[in-house]
Each structure stands twice: as structure tokens, then as C-alpha cells.
């Protein structure tokens, strides 16, 4: 069985759907601090906390775990600056707990959710895996620390890992069974869709004076189901004896904030009011990743690379959410 830690969250739940559809059995370990039990529609749910090592031991004793995929992390960059301890405790210390139990149980395959935030401010675009890693906030630093720990555990204990450095995860399950639901929501696309749905008055554009063609920040949006596919390929790569490695996961295409808003207007057919606002501290002007390495080695091929498809799936999910029992969480 595959242990999906954080499998009740946004990316973990999409992975759970894809991997169970391919015949794998899964156990979802989540403390539901940010995840949603309703997102655990496949596999077996085990409520547990990585902060409590006995919870981790229990899940390994109960189920025949052969590999671990680790999605559980706090992901608010701004909050990580204000409260770094919260991030280092959860994203670093609790990950060490998980790895400790894996070693105790002799489980040696690990797929880790890393981030382009480990690179810091880019010195060249597109960003390849060889770009220097100089993270500029505790969120990115914590993820980099875990990557470094993984290298040492590989060398000392033979733990085989794949670390996946995501760019901007976006979109939702093509059947709208699951999707993005953060509280608080800070991400661009769901906030634009809130504005489209009349749940907020406008979308604020954080900075219009960047050195980019239209003055707004450019990001590389990658569909969450394509991310999920990459995890399955990474797992199979490890099962087939692949060496520990790290890979970028992005689209290779950048879209500006204004382009995303325009595309959302087109897809939703709604008026979306955009208001110019000051820059958000810590935002690099352009983040675009090269995913050539994942394509060559893992044979990854993103299917939903069109921005229109990303926004369309997000919008379908968003409308369903508004009408669903999540309404209270949403408003
Ligand atoms: N952004 C924005 N208004 C918002 C939220 C985000 O202009 O209300 C911009 C943000 O400055 C960044 C891009 O949208 O350039 C993507 O931000 P998001 O928070 O979705 O992802 P991040 O790049 O921070 O991981």
C-alpha cells in the first residue's frame, strides 16, 4: 500500500484519485488541520498527526506500507516569515519524524513535495534543477533543509527519494470531485474566481510596475492532475530502481497576472473587476520552470497545459463548491 501523508489536501487528494484509478491501494494519513475529510474519496483514511510519532508508528503497524508520498506541509509564504517556528516544526521536524519511522520500518521509497521556492530569486529563466538554491523565506528554507536531509539519508541509509519542485499548482479534477479549497485563500486563480462568482468585489493585482511586458508578475501554472501524474511516475521510477533525484514540475509557459484575469473573464463570461494594488513583498517578477528533466527521465507529459483548461476546471469546481455543503467553509 502507498501511504499518502497529507492526502486530504489539494494536491494529495488529486494524487490519491489518480493513483487509485491505476490500481494502487492507498492509506491517507492526515490530521485535517488544513485538509478535508470529504476529499478522501478513495483508499483508507487514517487520522493522525506527524507531530506524534506514535500516530506514525500506528499507521505503519496497521497497514503494509511499501512507499510514502509526503504532501503535508504549511504553504503560506507570508505566514512563514511571521511565524517561522510553525513552519520549521511542521515542515521540517515532522518530516523527520516520518522519515524516522520509515527507517524503523525499513520502507525505503519516498516521494517528497518540494517547491520552486527553494530557488529564491531567479538569476536565470527558465529555472532548471541546476539553478542555485537560495530560498528567501522560511517556507522555502524548510523545504530545502528536507531536500538536504534526504540526500544524507540516501547516502547513509539507502533511502531512495524523488523530490518534486512544484511551480504554481492550479486547476481542479476534471470531474470536479475535488479541487482547491484553502482557508484562508491567498492564491490568484481561486480569488479571481471568487470575484467572478460575486463572492468578492474585485481581484487586487499585486504590482503593475514589474519589468515584464504588461508590468504584472509572471508565473508558471501547472495543472494539479498533471502534478499527480508526475508523482505516480516518480514512484514507479523508484520501484524500477531509479536513483534518488529531484525534478521541477512546471508548464514551461509563463502567464502574467493580467493574462490570467483576462482568460478567467473569457472562460467564465463574467465581469471581473481588477484593482491595481501595491506589490506583495517577496514576489519575484518572473518564475518559469524548465521541466525537461522530468520529461526526459520520468517520461512526464503534462496533459492540461493550456491556461484555459486550468481555469475551466478550476471554475467548474468553484461553481460546484459554491452550491455544495462546503458553502460555509467557502464564504
Ligand atoms: N496575486 C495577485 N493578487 C492576488 C493574489 C496573487 O496579484 O490576490 C499575484 C501574486 O503577486 C503572484 C501571482 O498572483 O504574482 C501568483 O500568486 P499566488 O499567491 O497564486 O502564488 P505564488 O506565486 O505566490 O506561489
Query: How confident is the prediction along the chain (331 residues), in pLDDT tens digits per residue?
Result: 999 999 999 999 999 999 999 999 999 999 999 999 999 999 999 999 999 999 999 999 999 999 999 999 999 999 999 999 999 999 999 999 999 999 999 999 999 999 999 999 999 999 999 999 999 999 999 999 999 999 999 999 999 999 999 999 999 999 999 999 988 999 999 999 999 999 999 999 999 999 999 999 999 999 999 999 999 999 999 999 999 999 999 998 999 999 999 999 999 999 999 999 999 988 899 999 999 999 999 999 999 989 999 999 999 999 998 888 655 555 4
| β-sheet bridge partners, residue 218 | 256, 286
Q: How many whole angstroms from 285 Cα to the centroid of ligand 1?
A: 11
Rg of the chain in Å (alpha carbons): 19
The residue whose CA is least distant from atom 21 of ligand 1 is 187
Q: Which of 74, 203, 257 to mutate to test the pocket of ligand 1 (most atoms within 8 A of CB)?
A: 257
Q: Can you give the length of the chain in residues?
A: 331
Question: Which domains are seen in the chain, by residue range?
Answer: 2-170+223-249 (3.40.50.720), 188-219+252-288+304-330 (3.90.25.10)
3-class DSSP string for 104-138: HHCCCEEEEEEEHHHCCCCCCCCECCCCCCCCCCH
Q: Going by CA atoms, what residue is nearest to atom 14 of ligand 1?
A: 188
Ligand 1 atom nearest the C-alpha of 168 is 25
Q: Which has the closest alpha carbon to 252: 284, 219, 285, 229? A: 219
Q: How far apart are the CA of 292 and the centre of ligand 1, in A?
A: 25
Ligand 1 nearest atom to the CA of residue 189, by list position: 20
Q: Which residue has the cell 525534478?
A: 247
* Residue located via cell numbers 504553504: 75
Cβ count near 131 (within 10 Å): 20
What is residue 235's DSSP assignment?
Answer: H
Phi, psi torsion values for 270, nearest 5 degrees = -105, 155
3-state secondary structure of 192: helix
Known catalytic residues are 139
Taking CA atoms only, the protein residue closest to ligand 1 atom 16 is 188
Contact in structure between 40 and 30 (CB atoms under 8 Å) = yes
Cis peptide bond prior to 303, omega within 30° of 0: no
- C-alpha distances in angstroms, 159 versus 29, 147, 163, 205? 20, 12, 12, 43
Amino acid at each position: 500500500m502507498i501511504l499518502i501523508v497529507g492526502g486530504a489536501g489539494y494536491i494529495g487528494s488529486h494524487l490519491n484519485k489518480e493513483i487509485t484509478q491505476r490500481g494502487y491501494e492507498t492509506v491517507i494519513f492526515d490530521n485535517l488541520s488544513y485538509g478535508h475529510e470529504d476529499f478522501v474519496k478513495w483508499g483508507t483514511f487514517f487520522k493522525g498527526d506527524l507531530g506524534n510519532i506514535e500516530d506514525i508508528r500506528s499507521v505503519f503497524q496497521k497497514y503494509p506500507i511499501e512507499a510514502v508520498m509526503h504532501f503535508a506541509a504549511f504553504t503560506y509564504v507570508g505566514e512563514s516569515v511571521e511565524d517561522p517556528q510553525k513552519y520549521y516544526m511542521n515542515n521540517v521536524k515532522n518530516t523527520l519524524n516520518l522519515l524516522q519511522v520509515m527507517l524503523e520500518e525499513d520502507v525505503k521509497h519516498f516521494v517528497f513535495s518540494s517547491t520552486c521556492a527553494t530557488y529564491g530569486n531567479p538569476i536565470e529563466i527558465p529555472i532548471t534543477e541546476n539553478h542555485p538554491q537560495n530560498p528567501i523565506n522560511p517556507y522555502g528554507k524548510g523545504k530545502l533543509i528536507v531536500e538536504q536531509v534526504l540526500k544524507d539519508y540516501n547516502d547513509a541509509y539507502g533511502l531512495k527519494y524523488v523530490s518534486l519542485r512544484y511551480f504554481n499548482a492550479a486547476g481542479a479534477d476534471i470531474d470536479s470531485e475535488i479541487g482547491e479549497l484553502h482557508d484562508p485563500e491567498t492564491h490568484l486563480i481561486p480569488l479571481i474566481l471568487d470575484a467572478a462568482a460575486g463572492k468578492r468585489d474585485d481581484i487586487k493585482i499585486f504590482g503593475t510596475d514589474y519589468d515584464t511586458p504588461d508590468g504584472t508578475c509572471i508565473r508558471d501554472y501547472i495543472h494539479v492532475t498533471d502534478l499527480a501524474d508526475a508523482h505516480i511516475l516518480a514512484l514507479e521510477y523508484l520501484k524500477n530502481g531509479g536513483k534518488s533525484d529531484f525534478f521541477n514540475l512546471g508548464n514551461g509557459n509563463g502567464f502574467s497576472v493580467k493574462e490570467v484575469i483576462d482568460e478567467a473573464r473569457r472562460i467564465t463570461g463574467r465581469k471581473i473587476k481588477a484593482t491595481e494594488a501595491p506589490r506583495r513583498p517577496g514576489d519575484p517578477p518572473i518564475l518559469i520552470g524548465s521541466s525537461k528533466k522530468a520529461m526526459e527521465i520520468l517520461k512526464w507529459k503534462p496533459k492540461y497545459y493550456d491556461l484555459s483548461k486550468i481555469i475551466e476546471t478550476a471554475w467548474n469546481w468553484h461553481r460546484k463548491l459554491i452550491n455544495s455543503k462546503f458553502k460555509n467553509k467557502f464564504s
